[in-house]
């Protein structure tokens, strides 16, 4: 078969991800698609995968993607005639200590929140299901009966056949060597067998995806790591339908295979492969067996399954797989090139993800928009710092090493820090700040009082920062606090048509007079919330846009890519040009008035306005906004003046009791006030009406904007889900998110955020209440609510208004 000279879409890579993407592009979209594989299909990482297929993740959308894989693998043979080896064996996860058990209780609740029936079993029940297992050290196990295992090569061949049946053209032995680019877009794929003109490219090149990306100037931050498992001879008494096992406290996993066991693990001292280019001739190749390194898994596995001591090892597999700095895979359109899509970095769950990842990626390629909330895997969660290969390696190895460690709430990574610091870093450190990191920035999470170690001590219950964070919270409510939020992403849009461009991109009316600022969502074509940010009008032709630290690449790309053609509007990232100090609390005005000659009275400087004011010889952009529900200003300071302005505020604020406050108190404060967090409370899956943010949508104005049509189409129909707040009186309960919401004893949703409100003295959660027949105020208010927290029911009260309203200083019960 000769290569075509043109294809609408070229998929690079014939592993499970490329084949699944090609299959879905052909089947669902009838796309003109060509797949190019440099060797034979499956010859990269896919052929040597162990084949365990788990489904539960902490994100509802990713769980949905993985559940889709299972559905696909079940039925694929009937369509293509090629078996996938799918076996629904179920999966046992073993717990040997109390923290792990709490983790599983929360996990089982999450599973039920996502519609999966995960059970918790006693050691005796585990023994009955898996008689060869030693269960003396177990507290119990979680049991997900719908998990299973499959044959990675067979699935991939079956997907490839399906893709061909639906019209895709697959070519082996064709290597992509470069791209012809025009205006930042790919116009042709160059190969060792000729060029193919195309409209879109999907980079599914596995561990080669980074270097294939470089050919188009894009960054795919992944790191190949050596991963090993063994396959044993037949073990007497091992059932062919034995459940797969994950034994995280012993860092190992097991799967039955032709009467023997596959056993592998995630060691704390993983071995990176190259940070350079991966060789092109790595077809069906493995590394040499490394029994010395594997010994740590063997020792643990024998304790769990003593029969392993006597059985022979048929084969050891030591193969490379690409891992990423946060353990999630990488999907979506590259920020640097509008027509290169990526599906790579699968962190040893590419077989489990393959079917679903191909499904959503194909849809993304065709629509140019993610079909559901895929933020946790979106390539735009990374930034320029992820071009540093050594940093990516170190952080990735840390993430790999933590694959099976207990996932404590609020846990921070340690490697590659500090990476980016604000000018106040040393001052805040001197004030006993305990830092966390977000997109490379060190940010104060809390401040340890004298006598308390400046260190997070993680716990499944209340942590060592609970008391100090409560004090910081109370301080902001009663006096005044200062937050270093210099890591905020900041952009400027300039040009004669800047107002028109933003009017189209933003759901709220941002085309206001100079000096006004607007809180707004940016919507996708389904009316889902793609971003949540503040837009300040500095001049007729100049806007200042502020968004969350982690959303820097994503929001910038979203705005830039949606400026209508032909408009004079240029977007620039000015993040590093400004430090941001948020002065919040009832005493904020007194402090500000003491450092500036500007009139900061409410009449002269009302809420929702931006002014340039002088502080400590610097011209500061002061934005009158709040995320804590108190009087306050965000002060955007020329970066070089940040320390001087901070010092001036601290000195002038001293009589008013000013103190620095960290991000954990900020979270507690915003929970009380009911401000939504993008990525958890509001996502591309949710419309502003569902989120209770309809007031921030300019439907009454006669201008078109992105998402308007979808919102109008839905208007009038009852909302099937609505965002609501909940409080739990029982102070011993700990909310972490994803707890199930019960109304009249029936599940109606799950928490998207959870935490503790110090002023309220109660646990606070938020989430969507769902009802197929519509969610009216009456429906919401009339129910009796409970939350399922770590498998236990606890009574909860619903709140449709902010729980704390500082305008009348009244705490609403
Ligand atoms: C030891 C081991 C055990 C594993 N166990 C499991 C498991 O139990 N469950 C699970 O879900 N996952 C498991 N995995 C992970 C799984 O194997 C991978 O996530 C998955 O195979 C990744 O598929 P892929 O299509 O992204 O990459 P690959 O299979 O590597 O496919 C990428 C393809 O792109 C081709 N390519 C690269 N560059 C070019 C180019 N320039 N031109 C054309 N073609 C190119 C390559 O030749 C390759 O075939 C395991 C991995 C390892 C290493």
- HEC-encoded secondary structure of 414-472: CCCCCCECCCCHHHHHHCCEEEEEECCEEEEEEECCCCCCCCCCCCCCCCCCHHHHHHH
Pocket lining: 688 vs ligand 1, CB cutoff 6 Å: no
Q: Is the pLDDT reported for residue 716 higher than 90? A: no
Atom of ligand 1 nearest to the CA of 39: 47
Does any ligand 1 atom lie closer than 6 A to the CB of residue 348? yes
Residue 346's nearest CA partner among 45, 679, 20, 10 is 45
The reply to whether ligand 1 has any atom less than 6 angstroms from the CB of 15 is yes
* Chain centre to alpha carbon of residue 642: 31
The residue contributing the CA closest to ligand 1 atom 18 is 350
Is residue 275 very low, low, confident or very high in pLDDT (cuts 50, 70, 90)? confident
Distance linking the first and last C-alpha atoms of the chain:
72
The predicted model gives 330-352 an average pLDDT of 97
For ligand 1, say whether the CB of 215 is within 6 Å of any of its atoms: no
pTM above 0.95, yes or no: yes
Tell me, what DSSP letter sits at residue 242? P
Place of tokens 């599973």: 111
pLDDT, residue 686, reads 98
Pocket lining: 17 vs ligand 1, CB cutoff 6 Å: yes
For residue 372, the CA-to-ligand 1 centroid distance in Å is 24
Per-residue pLDDT tens over the stretch 569-589: 999 999 999 999 999 999 999
What tens digit of pLDDT does each residue of 780-800 get? Answer: 999 999 999 999 999 999 999
Average pLDDT in the 497-509 region? 98
Compute the distance from residue 332 Cα to the ligand 1 centre, in Å.
Answer: 18
Q: What per-residue confidence (pLDDT) applies to 783?
A: 93
The answer to whether 314 and 233 are in contact (CB under 8 A) is yes
Instruction: Tell me the three-class secondary structure of 530-579, residue by residue.
Output: EEEEEEEEEECCEEEEEECHHHHHHHHHHHHHCCCCCCCCEEEECHHHEE
The H or E element that residue 283 is part of is none
Closest CA to 674 of 804, 794, 785, 541: 804
At residue 678, the pLDDT reads 98
Is any atom of ligand 1 closer than 6 Å to the C-beta of 349? yes
CA pair distance 778, 795, nearest whole angstrom: 19
Digit-coded pLDDT (tens) for 247-266: 999 999 999 999 999 999 99
pLDDT higher than threshold 60 for residue 733? yes
- Mean pLDDT (the chain, rounded): 97
CA-nearest residue for atom 48, ligand 1, is 44
Report, as an integer, the average pLDDT of 299-314.
97
pLDDT tens digit sequence for 144-162? 999 999 999 999 999 999 9
Q: Which residues contact 191 (CB under 8 A, 6 or more apart)?
A: 3, 36, 174, 175, 176, 177
Q: How far apart are CA 286 and CA 577, in angstroms?
A: 48
Is residue 302 over pLDDT 70?
yes
Please return the burial class of 5, using the count of CB atoms within 10 Å of its CB with bins 0-12, 13-18 and 19+.
exposed
Neighbours of 309 (CB within 10 A): 10
Distance CA 432, CA 449 (A): 7
808: pLDDT strictly greater than 80: no
Instruction: Give the confidence band of 806 by pLDDT, cuts at 50, 70, 90.
Output: low
pLDDT at 351 over 70: yes
Q: Which of 161, 204, 194 is nearest to 13 (CA)?
A: 204
Separation of CA 227 and ligand 1 centre (Å): 12
Q: Is the pLDDT of residue 809 over 60?
A: no
Report which of 729, 699, 704 is spatially closest to residue 715, judged by C-alpha positions: 699
Mutational test site, ligand 1, from 62, 175, 208, 288, max ligand atoms within 8 Å of CB = 208
d(CA 62, ligand 1 centre) in Å: 19
pLDDT at 810: 40
- Using the mean position of ligand 1's atoms as its centre, give its distance from the Cα of residue 112 in Å: 31
Q: Which residues contact 694 (CB under 8 A, 6 or more apart)?
A: 688
Region 496-524 average pLDDT: 98
Q: Work out the widest C-alpha separation in the chain, in whole angstroms.
A: 85
Query: Average pLDDT in the 719-735 region?
Result: 96
**Degrees to nearest 5, angle at CA 772 with 770 and 778:** 65
Alpha-carbon distance 764 to 188, whole Å?
A: 53
What pLDDT was estimated at residue 301?
Answer: 98
Answer whether residue 281 shows pLDDT above 80.
Answer: yes
Which pairs with CB-CB distance under 8 Å and at least 24 residues apart come from 126-134?
126/92, 126/94, 129/92, 129/243, 130/92, 130/242, 130/243, 130/245, 131/237, 132/235, 132/237, 132/238, 132/305, 132/306, 132/307, 133/245, 133/304, 133/305, 134/303, 134/304, 134/305, 134/306
- Lookup: tokens for 715: 């208007």
The C-alpha atoms of residue 561 and residue 504 are separated, in whole angstroms, by 12
d(CA 168, CA 34): 6
Q: pLDDT class for 812, splitting at 50, 70, 90? A: very low
| pLDDT over threshold 70, residue 689 | yes
Mapping DSSP to helix (H, G, I), strand (E, B) and coil, where does residue 262 land?
strand
- Asked if residue 43 has its Cβ within 6 Å of ligand 1, the reply is yes
- Percent of the chain beyond pLDDT 90? 98
Q: Provide the β-strand partners of residue 529.
A: 523
């Amino acid at each position: 078969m000769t290569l075509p000279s043109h294809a609408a879409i070229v998929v690079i890579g014939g592993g499970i991800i490329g084949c699944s993407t090609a299959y879905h592009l052909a089947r669902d979209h009838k796309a003109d698609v060509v797949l190019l594989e440099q060797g034979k299909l499956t010859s990269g990482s896919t052929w040597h995968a162990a084949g365990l297929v788990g489904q539960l993740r902490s994100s509802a959308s990713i769980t949905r993607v993985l559940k889709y894989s299972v559905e696909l693998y079940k039925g694929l043979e009937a369509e293509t005639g090629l078996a996938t080896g799918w076996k629904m064996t179920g999966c046992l996860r073993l717990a040997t200590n109390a923290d792990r058990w709490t983790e599983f209780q929360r996990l089982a609740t999450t599973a039920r929140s996502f519609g999966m029936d995960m059970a918790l079993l006693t050691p005796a029940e585990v023994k009955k299901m898996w008689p060869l297992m030693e269960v003396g050290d177990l507290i119990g196990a979680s049991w997900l009966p719908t998990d299973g295992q499959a044959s990675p090569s067979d699935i991939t061949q079956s997907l490839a056949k399906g893709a061909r049946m639906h019209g895709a053209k697959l070519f082996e032995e064709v290597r992509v060597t470069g791209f012809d680019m025009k205006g930042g877009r790919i116009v042709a794929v160059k190969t060792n067998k000729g060029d193919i003109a195309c409209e879109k490219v999907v980079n599914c090149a596995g561990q080669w995806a980074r270097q294939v990306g470089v050919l188009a100037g894009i960054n795919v931050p992944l790191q190949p790591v050596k991963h090993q498992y063994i396959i044993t001879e037949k073990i007497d008494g091992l059932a062919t339908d034995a459940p797969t096992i994950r034994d995280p406290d012993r860092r190992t996993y097991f799967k039955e295979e032709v009467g023997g066991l596959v056993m592998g693990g995630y060691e704390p001292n993983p071995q990176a492969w190259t940070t350079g280019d991966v060789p092109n001739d790595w077809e069906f190749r493995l590394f040499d067996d490394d029994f010395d390194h594997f010994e740590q898994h063997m020792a643990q596995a024998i304790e769990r399954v003593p029969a392993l001591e006597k059985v022979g090892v048929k084969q050891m597999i030591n193969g490379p797989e690409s891992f990423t700095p946060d353990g999630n895979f990488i999907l979506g359109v590259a920020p640097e090139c509008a027509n290169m899509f990526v599906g790579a970095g699968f962190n040893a769950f590419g077989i489990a993800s393959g079917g679903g990842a191909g499904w959503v990626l194909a849809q993304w390629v065709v629509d140019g928009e993610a079909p559901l909330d895929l933020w946790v895997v979106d390539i735009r969660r990374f930034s320029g710092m992820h071009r540093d290969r050594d940093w990516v390696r170190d952080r990735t190895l840390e993430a790999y090493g933590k694959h099976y460690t207990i996932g404590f709430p609020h846990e921070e990574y340690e490697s590659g820090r500090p990476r980016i610091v604000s000018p106040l870093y040393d001052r805040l450190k001197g004030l006993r700040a305990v830092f966390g990191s977000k997109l490379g920035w060190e940010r104060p999470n809390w401040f340890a009082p004298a006598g308390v170690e400046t260190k997070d001590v993680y716990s499944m219950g209340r942590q060592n920062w609970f008391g100090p964070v409560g004090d910081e919270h109370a301080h902001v409510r009663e006096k005044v606090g200062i937050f270093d939020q210099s890591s905020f992403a900041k952009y400027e849009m300039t040009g004669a048509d800047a107002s028109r461009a933003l009017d189209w991109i933003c759901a709220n009316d941002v085309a206001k007079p100079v000096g006004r600022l607007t809180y707004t969502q940016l919507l996708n074509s389904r009316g889902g919330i793609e971003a949540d940010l503040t837009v300040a009008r500095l001049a007729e032709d100049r806007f200042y846009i502020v968004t969350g630290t982690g959303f820097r690449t994503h929001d910038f790309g979203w705005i830039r890519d949606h400026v209508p053609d032909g408009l004079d509007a240029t977007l620039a990232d000015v993040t590093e040009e400004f430090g941001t100090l948020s002065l919040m609390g009832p005493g904020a005005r007194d402090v500000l008035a003491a450092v500036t000659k500007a009139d900061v009275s409410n009449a002269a400087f009302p809420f929702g306005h931006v002014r340039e004011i002088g502080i400590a010889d610097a011209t500061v952009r002061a934005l009158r906004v709040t995320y804590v529900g108190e009087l306050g200003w965000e002060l955007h300071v020329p970066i070089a003046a940040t320390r001087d302005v901070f010092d001036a505020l601290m000195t002038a604020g001293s009589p008013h009791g000013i103190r620095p406050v960290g991000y954990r108190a900020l979270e507690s404060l915003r929970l009380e006030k009911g401000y939504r967090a993008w990525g958890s409370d509001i996502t591309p899956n949710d419309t502003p009406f569902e989120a209770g943010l309809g007031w921030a949508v300019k439907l009454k104005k006669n201008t078109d904007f992105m998402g308007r049509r979808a919102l109008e189409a839905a208007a009038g129909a009852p909302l099937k889900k609505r965002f609501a707040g909940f409080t739990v009186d029982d102070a011993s309960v700990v909310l972490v998110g994803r707890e199930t919401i019960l109304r009249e004893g029936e599940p109606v949703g799950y928490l998207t955020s959870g935490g503790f409100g110090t002023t309220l003295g109660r646990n606070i959660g938020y989430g969507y209440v769902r009802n197929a027949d519509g969610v009216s105020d009456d429906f919401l208010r009339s129910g009796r609510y409970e939350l399922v927290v770590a498998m236990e029911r606890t009574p909860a009260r619903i709140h449709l208004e902010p729980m704390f309203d500082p305008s009348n200083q009244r705490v609403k019960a």
